[in-house]
A and B are shown apart, each in its own frame.
Chain A
Amino acid sequence: MKPIIELSKVNFKYQEDDERQALTDVSLNVYEGEWLAVIGHNGSGKSTLAKTINGLIVPSSGDVVVEGLPMNEENVWNIRKKIGMVFQNPDNQFVGSTVEDDVAFGLENHGIPREDMLRIVKESLEKVRMTDFAKKEPVRLSGGQKQRVAIAGVVALSPDVIILDEATSMLDPEGRMEVIKTIQEIRDEKNITVISITHDIDEAANATRVLVMREGRVFKDGLPEEIFSAGQDLIEMGLDLPFPEKLKMEMRAQGMDVPADYMSEERMVEWLWTSALNK
């Protein structure tokens, strides 16, 4: 399978005289249809990585290729058309004065004729279940609703890749669930690749692949099962564990015998009740 995004040996420094590089020798392939979760503590280069992918940051060395297009001045706008980004702060990415204006903003930028815009805006709002709010102003919306509008704005452009740059970190658990559910539905429908930069370990546990960043380098890259079974390592790095793994650790501390391999919530439940039966 051909990767949709290829990064090879990417290096980046914010300032010339910075001692530490924000990204060091990052090489990464992302394949079509993947849900890639990028985790790591603050300052590990996660957000910088996201900005490199859609050309908001130009690496000092190394290559970025998106769908066969090498990132350069000529291609950058075409690449941005293929990659939609949802940022952290719901207020600071709301450009339009009302919900529908905000969804239309990206379409306006790409010179889509007005008749098409009216249709696409309506469809996109339906997808994120915000149709009733089309005429509302941002002050009247909750954080989760604003993030859903941001997703609608991205979906309107029908990108191949959606990058969530800590898109749920300022939301309450309910808003977070809503946003993730919306993204999952859209992904199932259109087979979009999702790159999710997150501190929410449970969200990462549901990804198809997890990338752990540390001090600007790719520290680990693998299936969630592989990453999270290395429990102690992650905790030493200051990262959290998914709930079933935490439970396993506690049980082990109590002297119980638990399997070493990673378990999702469902498998954990299954194991718990079968092990109780076997006793």
Chain B
Amino acid sequence: MTDKLIFGRYMPGDSVIHRMDPRTKLLCSFYFIGIIFLCNNFASYALMFAFTLMAIFLSKVDLKFFIRGVKPMIWLILFTVILQLFFTQGGKVYWQWGVFSLTEFGVQNALFIFCRFVLIIFMSTLLTLTTPPLSLSDAIEALLRPLKVIKFPAHEVSLMLSIALRFVPTLMDETEKIMNAQRARGVDFNDGNLMDKMKAIVPLLIPLFISSFNRAEELATAMEARGYQGGDGRTKYRQLKWEMRDTVCVLVFALLTVALIFLRK
């Protein structure tokens, strides 16, 4: 089940990008999505593409994984692109039929939207392919910590996140076990109309919920027995370290922003 999903999957490796601080990677990916909206001409998109491809090259992950990451989104992308293509007015008109028209701006916009989608997906895939989920949750915790000033429960949120991540495979296993057990007793998960399929989910969902409650109860007891009293006075085993390459990454992003603003017309 997990092998089919590229999105959110981690590819172990030892490149510069892999070794970067997860905080840098997370923030930079968000920043990248922000500055992509600065692009408004072919030169700026070309620059962004060059930058993304360079990052992918540095990560030493095969390009085909990124293309596979785009695949599940392809219908959404095509839908948006086609809407843009036929409904944008302005510039030279190539073809017209009723409300549909193919214009210069339309083609241009459609291309830009396509590039924007692909770039965003490439960048977020790069983040998840090179960062283990664990480091990501560490990064999120570190980034949430300043919010403690406004009474935001940063420790609790990050603990929930890491427990959730840790239990994803366990619960997947269990789902499969329950499914097989119910199949053995004659529940059909694939056939029938929508209503039948929804009904077939019930004997899967209820046991899964109940067992999750039991798990939660036992886990809480085990945590308490091991002295867990909440976030205060705890030390941390894993630590994030800011290094030279992170500074370099931030500088590169600053340069990129300046270049984009310069290219913008």
Question: A residues within 8 A CB of B170?
Answer: 91, 138-139
Tell me the smallest distance from the CB of A46 to a CB of chain B, in Å: 15
Which of A109-117, A195-203, A239-247, A257-265 binds B? A109-117
**Residue pair A92, B239 in contact (C-beta under 8 Å):** no
Question: A residues within 8 A CB of B215?
Answer: 91-92
Tell me the smallest distance from the CB of B172 to a CB of chain A, in Å: 9
Bound-state Cα–Cα, A1 to B228, Å: 33
Tell me the smallest distance from the CB of B235 to a CB of chain A, in Å: 5
Question: A residues within 8 A CB of B236?
Answer: 108, 114
Question: B residues within 8 A CB of A37?
Answer: none
Instruction: Look across to chain B and name the residue whose beta carbon is closest to the beta carbon of A112.
Output: B235
Instruction: Look across to chain A and name the residue whose beta carbon is closest to the beta carbon of B236.
Output: A108
Which of A28-36, A93-101, A206-214, A215-223 binds B? A93-101
Tell me the smallest distance from the CB of B234 to a CB of chain A, in Å: 5
**Residue pair A54, B225 in contact (C-beta under 8 Å):** yes
**Residue pair B226, A153 in contact (C-beta under 8 Å):** yes
Q: Does A87 contact B (CB under 8 A)?
A: yes
Query: Which of A80, A87, A93, A97 touches B227 (beta carbons < 8 Å)?
Result: A80
Q: Does A192 contact B (CB under 8 A)?
A: no
**Residue pair B237, A104 in contact (C-beta under 8 Å):** yes
Query: Which of A77, A84, A97 touches B229 (beta carbons < 8 Å)?
Result: A77
Tell me the smallest distance from the CB of A88 to a CB of chain B, in Å: 8
Assuming the contacts A109-B228, A139-B173, asked whether A95 and B222 have C-beta atoms less than 8 A apart, the reply is yes
Which residues of chain A in 131-189 are interfacial with respect to chain B, using CB atoms and an 8 Å cutoff? 137-139, 153-154, 157
Bound-state Cα–Cα, A227 to B166, Å: 43
Q: Does B219 contact A (CB under 8 A)?
A: yes
Bound-state Cα–Cα, A106 to B169, Å: 23
Q: Does B218 contact A (CB under 8 A)?
A: yes
Bound-state Cα–Cα, A104 to B238, Å: 9
Question: A residues within 8 A CB of B224?
Answer: 56, 80
Query: Which of A77, A96, A107 touches B166 (beta carbons < 8 Å)?
Result: A96
**Residue pair A89, B218 in contact (C-beta under 8 Å):** yes
Instruction: Look across to chain B and name the residue whose beta carbon is closest to the beta carbon of A96.
Output: B166
Bound-state Cα–Cα, A97 to B169, Å: 11
**Residue pair A95, B223 in contact (C-beta under 8 Å):** yes
**Residue pair A157, B227 in contact (C-beta under 8 Å):** yes
Bound-state Cα–Cα, A104 to B226, Å: 10
Tell me the smallest distance from the CB of B85 to a CB of chain A, in Å: 45
Assuming the contacts A109-B228, A117-B237, asked whether A56 and B169 have C-beta atoms less than 8 A apart, the reply is no
Tell me the smallest distance from the CB of B4 to a CB of chain A, in Å: 17
Q: Does A127 contact B (CB under 8 A)?
A: no
Query: Which of A91, A112, A114, A137 touches B239 (beta carbons < 8 Å)?
Result: A114
Bound-state Cα–Cα, A112 to B234, Å: 8
**Residue pair B222, A93 in contact (C-beta under 8 Å):** yes
**Residue pair A100, B227 in contact (C-beta under 8 Å):** no
Question: A residues within 8 A CB of B163?
Answer: 95
Question: B residues within 8 A CB of A54?
Answer: 225
Assuming the contacts A87-B221, A89-B218, A153-B226, asked whether A94 and B166 have C-beta atoms less than 8 A apart, the reply is yes
**Residue pair A121, B237 in contact (C-beta under 8 Å):** yes
Bound-state Cα–Cα, A100 to B219, Å: 18
**Residue pair A109, B237 in contact (C-beta under 8 Å):** no
**Residue pair B234, A100 in contact (C-beta under 8 Å):** no
Bound-state Cα–Cα, A100 to B173, Å: 23
Query: Which of B169, B227, B235 touches A77 (beta carbons < 8 Å)?
Result: B227
**Residue pair A157, B166 in contact (C-beta under 8 Å):** no
Tell me the smallest distance from the CB of A122 to a CB of chain B, in Å: 12
Bound-state Cα–Cα, A114 to B219, Å: 24
Query: Which of A51, A121, A137, A157 touches B226 (beta carbons < 8 Å)?
Result: A157
Bound-state Cα–Cα, A102 to B48, Å: 42
> 1/0 contact trace for B165-199 toward A, CB 8 Å?
11001100100000000000000000000000000
Bound-state Cα–Cα, A105 to B159, Å: 11
Assuming the contacts A94-B166, A97-B165, A97-B166, asked whether A109 and B218 have C-beta atoms less than 8 A apart, the reply is no
Question: B residues within 8 A CB of A96?
Answer: 166
Interface hub of B137, B221, B223, B239 (most chain A Cβ within 10 A): B221
Tell me the smallest distance from the CB of B128 to a CB of chain A, in Å: 16
Bound-state Cα–Cα, A97 to B135, Å: 10
Bound-state Cα–Cα, A92 to B166, Å: 11
Question: A residues within 8 A CB of B169?
Answer: 137-139
Bound-state Cα–Cα, A153 to B222, Å: 11
Question: B residues within 8 A CB of A137?
Answer: 166, 169
30 A-B residue pairs with Cβ-Cβ distance under 8 Å, sorted by A, are: A54-B225, A56-B221, A77-B229, A80-B224, A84-B226, A85-B226, A91-B170, A91-B215, A92-B215, A92-B218, A92-B219, A93-B218, A95-B223, A97-B133, A97-B137, A98-B134, A101-B134, A104-B237, A105-B226, A107-B237, A108-B236, A109-B229, A111-B234, A112-B235, A138-B169, A138-B170, A139-B169, A139-B170, A153-B226, A157-B226
